[in-house]
Amino acid sequence: MASVDLIEHRLRSHLLAAPEGGVVAAARHMVATQAQEWWAGRWGLALRTSGTPGAAAVDSAFDDGLLVRSWTQRGTLHIVAAGDLRSFLALTADRQHAQAASVHRSRGIDAAVITRVERSVHRALADAGRLSRAELFDVMRADGLDTGDMRGSLLLQALSLRGLICQGPTRPEPDGLSREQWFVLVDDVVPDGKAADLATLFTRFVHGHGPASSRDFAWWMGLTRTAARAAALAATDVERLDDDLWAPLLTPRDPAAPDLVALPAFDEYVLSYVDRSAVCAPEDLSAVGPTANGVLSPVLLHRGRVIGTWTHSRARGRLAQRPVATLFATAADQVAPGEIEAALSRYTGFLGG
């Protein structure tokens, strides 16, 4: 597929050129939005929603129980519609548990320890309704469990994979912007329902990320290529472009969609593919990442291609500082005056709204 056609397809499937009408609709369309960095996941959804709603509007979807965040795939936190959480865990939890086994052993965490903390955390949340990360660590320590050396975080992840807890409503801050979520019992916020099969998730993945291959889906889900290929071959409502490339039906492009957008760290548009050279020049990939420690930088996207990076501190007292953009040398003459400022102003407007 010609790169210009692939990019145009992806800009629309990713809602960057054809946004959804609401935050929850955008999240459902994307199926799972990478949100290891809490700010990044929320900004990624706002970018894909008509009118670019502010952080408070995005947070309200979590406060209303419509969106949750959990370790849905690849041992990484993602935002999903509440009704989709059980489907992901049914398909990926066992594999994520297995992949974490060696780290658990090195920290003295075994099935008995996880079961023990599961009982104490369940009791505490049944009583309190919701607890912060620090409060859950207090619950573990009160039960004689050492939360140091990442044990507390690993246990929260293990309980999430067991389907006991997830991150739901947002915790308010004095400056009005949330930096953390409450942990809640999954059974309190996630409706019961039949889990979707892998072929259905492949179809939805293609609608939110296509054109894409079964290899991309295997990477994105953290599953084997064999399972992903079988899902692709069983999928419906997608167009097969060649042996291993599927695309959704194109939605109309929004004529008001800007040419340049400031994507967050770990954005699905860049991260979701085995081969990222279609949207970022190979010589610039090292500046974008993922780095050795897994970080993928926020990027400036111009007509579907990465042309630079940007940074901004979300620390308390620093939100008023302007984001800083860094253009790649090859992109200096591609951007019209004011485009970068307009893209970054959308982001600062998100913080203030």
The 10s digit of each residue's pLDDT in 256-267 is 999 999 999 999
User: Tokens 């400056």 identify what position?
Assistant: 175
Query: Per the structure block, which two tokens stand in for 73?
Result: 């795939």
User: How many beta carbons lie within 10 A of that of residue 56, not counting itself?
Assistant: 16
Residues 75 and 130 in one domain: yes
Query: Per the structure block, which two tokens stand in for 25?
Result: 């609709």
Residues 239 and 185 in one domain: no
Model confidence at 320: pLDDT above 80: no
Q: What per-residue confidence (pLDDT) applies to 292?
A: 76
Residues 96 and 136 in one domain: yes
Residues 161 and 79 in one domain: yes
Q: Cis (ω within 30 of 0) for the bond into 323?
A: no
Residues 308 and 206 in one domain: no
Q: What per-residue confidence (pLDDT) applies to 333?
A: 79
Residue 123: helix, strand or coil by DSSP? helix
Number of domains in the chain: 3
The percent of the chain in helix, strand and coil, each rounded to the nearest 5, is 45, 15, 35
Separation CA 13–CA 314 (nearest Å) = 29
Lowest mean pLDDT among 199-213, 296-310, 334-348: 334-348
Model confidence at 3: pLDDT above 90: no
pTM: 0.96
Q: What percent of the chain has pLDDT over 70?
A: 99
Q: What per-residue confidence (pLDDT) applies to 311?
A: 95
Q: What per-residue confidence (pLDDT) applies to 127?
A: 98
**Residues spanned by the domain of 305:** 260-352
Q: What per-residue confidence (pLDDT) applies to 353?
A: 55
Residue 203 lies in a domain: yes
How would residue 177 be classed by pLDDT, with cut points 50, 70 and 90? confident
Residues 77 and 182 in one domain: yes
- Mean pLDDT value across residues 39-63: 97
Strands 33-34 and 180-185: unpaired
Model confidence at 139: pLDDT above 90: yes
